[in-house]
């Protein structure tokens, strides 16, 4: 189960995900992230509430980041939970994504 919310504040669209980002929920996560990227110039994903993420969840983030790059939008991933940090670090995400400790707004 995953809960994903979208909120615009101070020029940023903040997408907050809570729960499990796995093969059952990756499509939902990708859909919200892509929607945010399509409709906003700046998107920040808040992953402080992710209890779990697998490669399927990671792929959803990568696809959204790619859409942002193609659309020349800003995309940042913030406040990684301990499990998310582990998976992002093992996958070399720091080389290709902007990852921040805090939200930009």
Partner 1 sequence: MPLSAVELTLDGNIEELERLAQEVTRFCRDNDLDEDIEFDLNLAFDELFVNAVKHGGCKGMKEAARVRIELQEEGVRAEFADRGSEFDPTMVTPPDLSAPLAARPPGGLGLHLVRNTMQDVQYRRDGGWNHVSMWRPV
The tokens for 3 are 């809960």
Confirm if 36 and 14 have CB atoms less than 8 A apart.
no
If binding is defined by CB under 8 A, does position 24 make contact with partner 1? yes
- Cβ neighbors of 65 (< 8 A, separation 6 or more) are 75, 96, 97
Under rule CB under 8 A, which residues in 46-85 are in contact with partner 1? 52, 54-56, 58-59, 62-63, 65-66, 69, 82-83
Pick between residue 8 and residue 74 the one whose CB is nearest to partner 1.
74
Pick between residue 8 and residue 34 the one whose CB is nearest to partner 1.
34
If binding is defined by CB under 8 A, does position 21 make contact with partner 1? no
Could you tell me the smallest distance in angstroms from the CB atom of residue 82 to partner 1?
8
The tokens for 15 are 């997408």
Cα–Cα dist 10/81, whole Å: 24
């Amino acid at each position: 189960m995953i809960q994903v919310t979208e909120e615009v504040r101070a020029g940023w669209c903040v997408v907050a995900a809570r729960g499990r980002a796995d093969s059952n929920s990756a499509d939902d996560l990708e859909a919200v992230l892509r929607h945010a990227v399509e409709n906003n110039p700046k998107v920040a994903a808040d992953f402080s509430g992710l209890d779990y993420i697998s490669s399927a969840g990671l792929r959803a983030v990568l696809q959204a980041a790619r859409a942002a790059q193609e659309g020349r939008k800003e995309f940042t991933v913030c406040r990684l939970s301990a499990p998310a940090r582990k998976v992002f670090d093992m996958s070399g995400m720091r080389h290709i994504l902007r990852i921040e400790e805090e939200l930009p707004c």
